[in-house]
Structure formats: structure tokens, C-alpha cells
């Protein structure tokens, strides 16, 4: 019932995205001393709201450790310009150590902090929405 409501579905999707991003950022930090490791991050894909609940949209948002590509399944679709991967290798934009490792711990910790703030914000909005529904149903919040 609750997941049929658009706001709750969007918040659930946002929290799932942030949870996946947290895992990738944690992997980056854990591999800060691994020779040749390049940090990874996940891009949030802009999905048309009309197709948000479709299986194709869910597949594009799912990350399994491999890059998820965007495919044109209809001739009228706009073609992706750069492969459209959901996970991007961010190592090129940062300094690389002689060992080949490109993890910048300060930058990763900043991203973890912002990710935590974003998740907490989404969780608070979700909780307030539940409280509002309870009040509307005549129950105490």
C-alpha cells in the first residue's frame, strides 16, 4: 500500500541508491592501500517518471559490481553518447600514487559524510510521511 504512493516509492528508491553508493565508497576507502586500485562511484541516472516503475528502469538502477549500460530498445530512443555506464571509474581525475592507487581518502570521507546526510534526510522525510498518513487515518503519530 505505502509503496504504491509516488513519494514513498521515490524515497525508497533514493535510499536504495544511497545505500549502494555507500558500499562503493566503503570499498574505495578499504582499498586505499591496494596497488593499482582506482576509486569508483555510482551516477544517479535520470529516469523518466513515466517509466520509473518499469523493469527496464529498475535494471538501469541496479548495480551488481559491473557497469550497467543504457541500451536503446526503440528506434526513437536517444542514443547514449559515452556508453552510459552507471558506475564510473573516477581514478583519472585524482592524483595517482606510484603504486597506481588513485584513492584520495579526504575526498572519499567527504563523499561518505554527504551520502550519510542525504540518506538521513530521505529517511526523515519518509518517517514524517508515515506520521502524516497515521494522522490522516485517525491514529496517533
**Angle subtended by helix axes 6-30 and 105-136, to nearest 10:** 160
The pLDDT, as a whole number, for residue 73 is 73
The pLDDT, as a whole number, for residue 100 is 84
pLDDT digits (tens, 9 = 90+) for 35-65: 999 999 998 766 554 444 555 444 444 443 4
Show me where the domains of the chain are located: 2-136
What pTM does this model have? 0.63
Q: Which residues pair with 42 in a beta bridge?
A: 87
pLDDT digits (tens, 9 = 90+) for 76-134: 766 655 544 455 555 445 677 888 898 999 999 999 999 999 999 999 999 999 999 89
CB-CB contact of 54 with 119 (8 Å): no
The pLDDT, as a whole number, for residue 94 is 60
CB-CB contact of 141 with 135 (8 Å): yes
Amino acid at each position: 500500500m505505502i509503496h504504491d504512493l509516488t513519494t514513498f516509492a521515490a524515497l525508497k528508491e533514493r535510499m536504495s541508491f544511497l545505500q549502494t553508493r555507500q558500499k562503493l565508497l566503503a570499498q574505495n576507502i578499504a582499498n586505499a592501500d591496494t596497488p593499482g586500485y582506482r576509486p569508483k562511484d555510482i551516477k544517479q541516472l535520470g529516469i523518466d517518471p513515466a517509466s520509473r516503475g518499469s523493469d527496464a528502469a529498475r535494471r538501469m538502477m541496479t548495480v551488481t559490481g559491473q557497469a550497467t549500460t543504457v541500451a536503446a530498445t526503440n528506434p526513437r530512443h536517444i542514443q547514449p553518447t559515452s556508453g552510459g555506464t552507471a558506475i564510473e571509474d573516477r581514478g583519472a581525475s585524482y592524483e595517482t600514487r606510484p603504486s597506481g592507487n588513485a584513492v584520495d581518502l579526504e575526498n572519499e570521507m567527504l563523499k561518505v559524510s554527504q551520502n550519510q546526510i542525504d540518506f538521513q534526510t530521505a529517511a526523515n522525510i519518509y518517517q514524517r510521511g508515515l506520521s502524516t498518513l497515521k494522522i490522516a487515518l485517525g491514529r496517533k503519530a
